[in-house]
């Protein structure tokens, strides 16, 4: 139990640092305004199913808020990640494999296969980035820009997340 | 117990989600300049709309009041105009027509029967009596026939027995204005104009001022067509009314002063 806590605590800090130290710098270097890289949603995606929904939502809010403090955009990332955490159970039940889930383990690429993982990740990631861009623009007047930003960032982030999964996904 | 708690937690995820999103929105609009500007702009628009709505509702409430006050002012102006009109007759100020004007609202009106009446919302308590003239802003519309405490029934020009003394503006010949055979509420007939009177289409018809109902020289309408029936010495004149009796809202009841004296004199003479 305490080992798990330590593990998820490390993930929390790890994804936070990865986002603000690596991907934020990449965004700055690329400086292509349409693209933003989102790696930290993987923390929520990787949480085991037995974790309380309310706790997942709260953790999403907390991680988003921390990211916001670095990005200097209080509430924007937090609202997106909170929404994503809230909708995770719905997506999970939507893409549920025939044999069901192992609630004690992280839902990973190796456990349920690539097509399952793609559905799971892309649905939630798209939702996350969409909410992020809506919060960021804060008006539907620029709905075309919202969609364009969402699409490009979604593609870029999906590639990063897949690559990261292939390299570092927890096998157990 | 733990089960119930976990069930509550599951159900609690919706309010938690909503609460956290609310916190996020508050954070967004209080600490991000762009979003703050957009939010205050939108909120301002919203406020503006609300304000507009509330004032328009307020207007609806006060509209009738304002219309009534305008019609009261109009009545005072009419009084002033009518007395000023009388003064231009000459130095003999004793002969000055003087009317007091009572504004009223039309609350019922018929136009397509043989005998048409207008009901107004002022009655005896407002100083209205039988046989007072009723005008609209564009000309005479009828004569008060019956009065109760708060209402009055006005015999409209479109009444079969309505007779208004009228004269031609150009030649000065006078006749009587009556409902003709047409059911058109804009058409009236002018009878009793002798056939030797010069007449042309478009001549203006005015009130004669011979009756005490209306002041002299109010416009009634214009001559539309005219002819002389065979074996008659009088024209049949069809004219177009200026006042639209089919569309009356506010009318003014005219109360002529010193009318009893004149009527008494006329009655005495007729009795003898």
B19-31 tens-digit pLDDT: 999 999 998 888 8
Select from B4, B11, B12, B17 the residue whose CB has the most chain A CBs within 10 Å, as the one to mutate to test that interface.
B17
Cα–Cα nearest to B219, from B164, B146, B152, B145 = B164
Which of A1-10, A127-136, B13-22, B64-73 is the most confident on average? A127-136
Distance from CA of B26 to the nearest CA of A (A): 8
End-to-end CA separation in angstroms for chain A: 15
What are residue B100's DSSP bridge partners? B255
Hey, what CATH class is B67-271 in? mainly beta
A79 in contact with B at a CB cutoff of 8 Å? yes
Q: What is the largest CA-CA distance in chain B?
A: 115
**Nearest CA distance, B1 vs chain A (angstrom):** 16
Q: What is the mean pLDDT of residues A111-132?
A: 93
- Is B24 close to A75, i.e. CB distance below 8 A? yes
Q: Kindly give, in sequence order, each residue whose CB lies less than 8 Å from that of residue B146, ignoring residues fewer than 6 positions away.
A: B130, B152, B153
Q: For residues A74 and A83, what is the distance between their CA atoms, to the nearest angstrom?
A: 15
The answer to whether residues B229 and B221 touch, using CB atoms and an 8 Å cutoff, is no
Q: What DSSP designation does A22 have?
A: I
What is the least distance, in Å, from the CA of B44 to any CA of chain A?
15
What is the H or E stretch that residue A124 is in?
A: helix A114-137
Average pLDDT score over chain B? 82
Dist CA A7 CA B24 (whole Å)? 28
Domain layout of chain A by residue ranges? 2-168
Contact A101, A116 (CB under 8 A): no
- The answer to whether residues B135 and B251 touch, using CB atoms and an 8 Å cutoff, is yes
For residue B27, list chain A residues with Cβ-Cβ distance below 8 A. Answer: 65, 68, 74-75, 78
Query: What residue ranges do the domains of chain B occupy?
Result: 67-271
Q: Which of A54, A58, A79 sits opposite B28 (nearest CB)?
A: A79
| Cβ–Cβ under 8 Å, residues A143 and A135 | no
**Measured between alpha carbons, how far is B72 from B100 in angstroms, rounded to an integer?**
12
Count, residues in chain B: 272
Of A54, A73, A138, which has the smallest distance from its Cβ to B38's Cβ? A138
Q: Tokens in use for B25? A: 């929105």
Q: Is the dihedral of CA B269, B131, B126, B94 positive or negative?
A: negative
Q: Count CA atoms within 13 Å of residue B146 on its CB side.
A: 5
Interval B238-272: pLDDT, tens:
999 988 888 888 899 988 776 677 777 777 777 65
Residue pLDDT, tens place only, B217-240: 888 999 999 988 888 899 989 999
**Half-sphere exposure of B11 toward its Cβ, with a 13 Å CA cutoff?**
5
């Amino acid at each position: 139990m305490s080992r798990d806590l330590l593990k998820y605590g490390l993930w929390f800090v790890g994804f936070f640092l990865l986002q603000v130290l690596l991907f934020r710098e990449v965004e700055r270097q690329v400086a292509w305004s349409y693209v933003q890289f989102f790696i930290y949603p993987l923390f929520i995606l990787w949480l085991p199913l037995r974790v309380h929904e309310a706790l997942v939502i709260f953790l999403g809010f907390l991680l988003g808020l921390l990211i916001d403090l670095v990005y200097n955009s209080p509430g924007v990332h937090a609202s997106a990640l909170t929404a994503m955490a809230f909708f995770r159970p719905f997506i999970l039940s939507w893409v549920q494999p025939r044999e069901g889930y192992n609630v004690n383990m992280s839902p990973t690429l190796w456990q349920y296969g690539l097509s399952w993982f793609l559905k799971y990740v892309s649905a939630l990631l798209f939702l996350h980035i969409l909410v992020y861009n809506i919060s960021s623009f804060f008006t539907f007047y620029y709905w075309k820009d919202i969609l364009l930003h969402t699409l490009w960032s979604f593609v870029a982030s999906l590639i990063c997340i897949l690559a990261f999964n292939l390299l570092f996904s927890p096998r157990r | 117990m733990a089960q119930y708690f976990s069930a509550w937690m599951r159900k609690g995820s919706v309010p938690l989600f909503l609460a956290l999103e609310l916190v996020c929105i508050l954070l967004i609009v209080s600490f991000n300049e762009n979003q703050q500007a957009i939010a205050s702009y939108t909120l301002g628009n919203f406020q503006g709309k609300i304000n507009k709505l509330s004032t328009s509702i307020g207007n609806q409430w006060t509209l009738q009041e304002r219309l009534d006050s305008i019609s009261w002012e109009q009545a005072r102006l009419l009084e002033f105009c009518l007395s000023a009109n009388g003064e231009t007759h000459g130095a003999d100020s004793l002969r000055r027509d003087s009317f007091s004007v009572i504004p009223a609202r039309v609350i019922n009106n018929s136009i397509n029967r043989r005998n048409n009446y207008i009901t107004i919302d002022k009655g005896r308590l407002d100083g209205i009596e039988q046989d007072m003239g009723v005008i609209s802003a564009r000309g005479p519309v009828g004569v008060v026939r019956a009065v109760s405490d708060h209402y009055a029934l006005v015999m409209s020009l479109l009444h079969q027995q309505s007779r208004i003394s009228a004269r031609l503006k150009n030649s000065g010949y006078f006749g009587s204005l009556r409902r003709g055979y047409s059911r058109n509420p804009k058409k009236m007939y002018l009878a009793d104009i002798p056939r030797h009177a010069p007449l042309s289409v478009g001549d203006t018809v005015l009130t004669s001022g011979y009756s005490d109902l209306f002041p002299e020289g109010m416009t009634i309408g214009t001559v539309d067509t005219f002819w002389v029936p065979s074996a008659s010495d009088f024209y049949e004149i069809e004219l177009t009314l200026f006042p639209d009796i089919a569309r009356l809202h506010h009318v003014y009841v005219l109360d002529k002063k010193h009318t009893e004296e004149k009527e008494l004199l006329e009655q005495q003479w007729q009795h003898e």
